[in-house]
Amino acid sequence: MKLKFLGTRGGVPVSGADKSFGNSTSCVSVALDGVSYIFDAGNGILNFETDLKTNPAASQIRIFLSHYHFDHLLGFPFFQPLYSKKFDIRVHLPTFGNIRGVEALQKLVSPPLFPVDLAVLGEHVTFLDFEPGELISDGDAVSVETKLFNHPGGVCAYKLVSGSKSIVYLSDVENAEANTIPDLVEFCVSANLLVIDSSYSDDEIVTRRGWGHFCISDIQLLAEKLPKTAIYLFHHEPSKSDERVEKDSFELRSRHRNVLIAQQGDEVEIE
């Protein structure tokens, strides 16, 4: 099980020499048993290696969208495997209230925002709706647990499980309810790795309540409860330089060695 950070920014893509922690928006891939599991489709998805000679797992692709805000869909209509029958692609779409995922995608992938609509995609692309809380099975050995968390419009957390190995992905979440942290800790029990929203410092969150994101103190609570889980700080606020990203989490990382900063391009092997 190998994870790769394809995009680590929140909000919008950025550029600049001081943004080496990531310039593309949210996307993480996991190579497992000849299949590529991709979480979110920010423009980071365009960094996914689709050369079947160097990445055989690229032929079997499973995409899991956490929610339907633009920064998490930005790369979707430009993802070339969607238009090639060499690939077998399943797109898993959480339902939030009365909003179905295909309907949300169709608003983005259709004129006038995009020159073509979803109808141009071939039979090699399958869209699968589900309710957060359902268990998604992919063969006999791999499953994906799902859970609803707090974010404007809703957000779905994913736990990819294969045998004793597991990875949790939760890109956007706010600690706005009493059960948020306990529920997330329970969801992450036994997980090897957690990719988690770390958008704001404790000072910033004071004026950003209701925006749907964690602050450093929230992750402190997680780190205390999940000492054996590698926690990767993710969804870096777009205006922040590398220095600022490091400064915001310096004390947290000093106290908890299992807390690290997600950097675009980095790979993590789960042994």
pLDDT interval class at 52 (50, 70, 90) = confident
Alpha helices in the chain (DSSP H): 101-108, 180-188, 202-205, 216-225, 242-255
Question: Comparing 46-50, 98-102, 228-232, 240-244, which segment has the lowest mean pLDDT?
Answer: 98-102
What's the pLDDT tens digit per position in 98-148?
888 899 899 999 999 999 999 999 899 999 999 999 999 998 899 999 999
CA–CA dist 218, 124 (Å, integer): 41
pTM of the model: 0.96
What is the distance, to the nearest Å, from the Cα of residue 222 to the centroid of all Cα atoms in its chain?
Answer: 18
pLDDT value at residue 271: 81
Nearest-CA neighbor of 213 among 7, 69, 46, 115? Answer: 69
- Let me know: does 181 contact 201? Beta carbons within 8 Å: no
